[in-house]
Structure formats: C-alpha cells, structure tokens
A and B are shown apart, each in its own frame.
Chain A
Amino acid sequence: MFNVSRSSVRSRSRLNVSTSGQSNGQRRHKPDHWILINTLLLLVIGLVLIYSISSALADTSGTSANYFIFKQLLAVGLALVAFFITAKVPLSRWRKHYKLLMGVAILATLVAIALPVNPSYPAHRWVRFAGLSFESVEMLIFAILIWFAHFLANRIKTNTVRSFSQTVRPILAALLVIGGIVAIIQSDLGSTGVIIAMMGIMIFVAGMPMKRIAIFAALVAGLGIVAILAFPYRMARLETFLHPSANCQSTGYQACQALIAVGSGGVSGLGLGSDVQAYGYLPEADNDSIFAIYAEKFGFIGSVLLLVVFASLFWRIAKVAEGAPDDFSRLIVVGVLTWISTETLINIGAMIGLLPLKGITLPFISYGGTSVVFFAAAIGLVYQVSRYTSHVSSRSIEHLNRRAGINDYSSHRRRIGGTYNPNLSGRS
C-alpha cells in the first residue's frame, strides 16, 4: 500500500527537482492546482459580476460605463503579479524580512492616519503611493500574518507557547496596539475582527491550551462589546441587525435592500443581464453588497455554487496547512485561511441577515484593488507551501487508511509523503 503511494509521489517529485533551497530533505512537487483554479474562478466571477453591473454603477456614480471593469482588470493584473511574487519568493525570505514588512505596514498605517486621502472622511484608511491608492489595513494584515507566524513558530520551537511572559503577554500587548490603531483610530472594527480571528486561530493551531484560549476569547468578546457600546453608530448597526424590517427606511436600508436582492433572486435568479437592485437601490453594489447582487442574478442555485467554490478553496487551503512541512508555513497557511474565510463569512453573513453589516469586502469578487491584490498575495504563499506538502489527497489517504485499518492518518501521512523533515518542524 505504502509503496504505491510512495512511488506515485516520487514519480511526481522527480519532475520537480527542488530548487527552493529552503530545506534539506524537502522535495518539491506539483503545487495544489485546485487552489489556483478556485481562486481564478472567484476572480472571473468577480470580473463578470462587475462587468454585468457596470452600466448600473455608471448610472449611479457618473463615470463612464467601462470605468469599473477597467480598474478591476488592472487590479486583477496586479493581483496576478502579487501572486507570482509570493508564490516564487521563498517563505524563508519572507520570514527573514518580517521586521521590514511590519515596518512598512506600520509606516503605511501612520501615513494613512496622518495624511488622509480625503480629509473630510473620518476613517483614515487609505494611502496614496505612486499614483495608486490602497487601504493600509490590508498591508498590515499581511505583515501581521508573517510576523505572527514567525513569532508562534519560534515559541513552538522553544516549547514556550504556554508561557505567559514569553507568549501570552506579548500577544496581548500586540493586540492592544493593533486594536487601538485599527479599531479606534481607523474605526475599522471589521478589519480588527479579522486580525483578531486570524491571530486567534493561529494561536489555537499553535497549541495554546483550550483554557487560555477560552479566556482570550472572553477577553476579546468583552472588548468587542465595549467597542460597540462606545460608538453610537455601531449601536445603531446592531439595533438595525436585530430589528431589520423596522428600520428599512433609515439605518436598516442597506440590510433590507440586501435581503430583498437575495430573496427576490429566487431559485434560479433573474439572470446575468437583468439585475435591478444594483440600480441605486442597494448601496455598495460593487463592493460590500456584491454577494446580494450575485444572489439576485443567480438565485439559490448560483449562490450555493459560489459557496461550494469558497468551501472548496477553504478545504484545499486547510489540506495544505495540514500537510505543511513545518510550523511556520503551517501557521502562514492557517492565517491565510482564517483571513480569507473570516472576511467571506462576515461579508456573506451580513448580506443574508445573519450578521450585522460591516465594511468588509467579499474576497476576490468585490470591486477594489487593495483587497484583490493582497488576497492574491496570500494565496501565493499558500500555493508555494503546497509545493512542499504531501499531495496525496485526503480522500485517498482515508481510503488507504481504511484499507489498512488505520483511523488516524495524520501521523501516517508524514510517512507516506516521505518528504517531511522533522528537524525543520520545530515541533516538540
């Protein structure tokens, strides 16, 4: 049994002689194409969607009909470049320069706060650089991802994950600083939630005891409640969320219109060319509300298909994490998974009335360059890691395990893959 799969892995790995120089003993495989396919599928869906509502967007924004689709094509082009960079540049190098990345991200955040692109807009989230504008928080999340994976990998290596002084205290300090800047100064509670979720799941995967995690979760929940109570507009959003139909003409307008768009899509949707809600009824049709527009066009069937694509992407990323060759890369992949999935769930959850509205985009689909570029960069990292994992699919492993009477495949898989170098795992 093992021989069969071993040879199949070898036969593949033979084609890809390792050039990464990342490790001794790691072999390079074909990467997980499914991740790339799912991502490209989502990007194409996003482009088609934005193209199909471009006349509606032009109608409500006063731009030419092709303005949005050209800008999004440009963003997707940049995203592909970002993807190839992060997929090519070895993870070890990203890790080595985590301080530089953090520095640039913090600088960008400070610039966004100090030199607002639009001074009349209170949320200082945008940075203008070389003729392009981007949201500083996306860069910050990316930098935190690298730094935090590095931090946790070191703690795992030194077996100090449980240490209060070594691990817990620095994390709490970092969370306070980040939360203070992003949640309070930039008043971006949505992104703060994404950062906290990302770091929390990374801590969880790094092996923090459940008791500590529970305390951590309670702490975050308490701060979250404070952050909501302290700001009237957040209270209003919560109130709106709890009683959407009572506020349809005021604060709940967007929530109501989103539900109308989703619900009126019915089983099969209005069709690609015949949406209505994008024509000024539903605010942020190209952006935060794009899922509702999609659901209106493609109905229940199309919505489920989109969720399946996301589920497939998440599952493949999780597989990569499970098979990651070392703790750093595993934490990176888990971080990316959490980043993308949290934004997806928060965005869709708000559109179907399960969560309050947040200014959170739908990954790869929403209009907007920054989000697409950084998500593509994040996927690039996962794609790179997927080259070094075992490529036996979980189904075939389970299949093999079942045949062999083995229930727990995770420890066996390392043996199956035969490319795992325990020296690099840092696992205690």
Chain B
Amino acid sequence: MSKRPSRSRRHTVIGVVLTAIMLFPVYWMVNVSLTPQGDMRKDPPDLLPLHPDVSGYRAVLNDQLPYLWVSLLVGLGTVALTLVLAAPAGYALAKLRPRGGGLVGLLLLIAQMIPGIVMAMGFYGIFLNLGIMNTWWGLVVADSTIAVPFGVMIFTAFMSGIPDELTAAARIDGAGTWRTFVSVVLPVSRNATVTVALFSFLWAWSDFVFANTLDSGGSLKPITLGIYKYIGNNNQEWNAIMATAVVASVPAAVLLVLAQRYVAAGVTAGAVKD
C-alpha cells in the first residue's frame, strides 16, 4: 500500500499516453484543417499547425453553412419524433404491461439488427412512389428508425425502475393513466429522456446511408453529404474537407463535455443488465 502514490502516477502517465495515441486521428484532423493548401503535400508533413491557416474554415462558411442547418433541422426533428413515439411505449411496456407487450419488445430488439442499407433500399422505393424524395422530413422519418427501438428500450428500462407506489399515489389522487404519465412518470424520467434525445440527435446528425440514398438530389442536403461531395469534387483541398469534418464533430464534442454520464449510460443500457 505504501507504493500506491507512485503507482497511481505511473498509471496516469500511461493513461495519458494511451489516450494520446487513441486520439491521434482526431488531432490530425484538426492539424490538417489548419494546414495551408500549399503545404498539404509537403514532405515531411507539418506535425504541428505552426502556421495555422483558416482558409479551410472560410470554405466551410462559404459552402457548407446551409448543410449544417439542414442537419440541425433533421436532428431536432428526429429527436422530437423519437421521444413522442418512444416515451409512451416505454411507459406501457414498463408499467402498464399490456398483453402482447413482450412480443412488441422482442420485435423492437430485432428491428435494431436490420442493416441500414436494407432499410435504405426499402425506403428508396417507397419514397420514390410517394414523391417525397429529397425532403428533410422524409429524412427525419428514415433517421428515426435508427433511434426509436433504442429509445423504447431505454425508456422501458428506466421506467420499470420507478416505484409502483409513485404511480399508485397519483391514481389515488384521481389522475388517469395519461395524467399519471405526463405529470408523474415523464418528470422523473428526465435522465432517460436526455439520453434518448442525445443519441437520436447524434445518430441523425451522423447519418450517411439514408441521406445518400434518399436526399442526395435536392438542395436541402445534410452536412454528411456536404463532406462526401467535397471528397468527390475537389479531393485536393483536404484542409477544407477536414475543416468541415471538425465542424461536423462539434455536436459530438459538446455532448461529451455536457452529458458524458448520459452517453455512458446509453452505451451500456442496451447491453448490460444491472
């Protein structure tokens, strides 16, 4: 026990080194985004942005701003749709336990296993027939399929932890099922709501398959396609591409700083039982 402090310091040093190795690609993305176009193919490459150049970011402002707005819109729309569908369903499965609820839970679990490209191909035909290709809300619908099963799972897991006495008390006070849900269950489920909202936003923001399949023709494209088109068109201006990538990573960074415990909760919720 006496050698604890020195061992702890050694662990910290190793931990910092490991983290640095793991995050090197992220650092490199930032470094390249600040490299002047002329130095892009320099040999050896500049390992530090000693002469930072913001022309890549200027290109983002000029070309990518509309795409960022679309992504924000699609992300928020997906969050709203996911919460509206998932929270009541979670309440039903956790507390009201309808006959056949177990089957619905099983179907939701299976739904999560279906590959995105298969869904994309199915949606492609439907969207084409309905004439809703290249609409932002069509993309919201498609993106929500990534998040809804997960959302129901999180809400179910969380809400079954709410003591029955709480809902029973609301009933004794004369609240109906809906009132109980809105004024008792939802307020105490804040953590689950935040977790589901975070992940559905992040997934919609990051989606590439649905966007590329269902929304690549119109003018309202999300940022993932903005980057993809950049790579396709001018694959020499890597500072602009990486600058867009940095900007597209901002939501992930914000989430990590503001809501780290929700993120960890979301990752583990599906996989590990308490």
Q: Do A and B come from one complex?
A: no
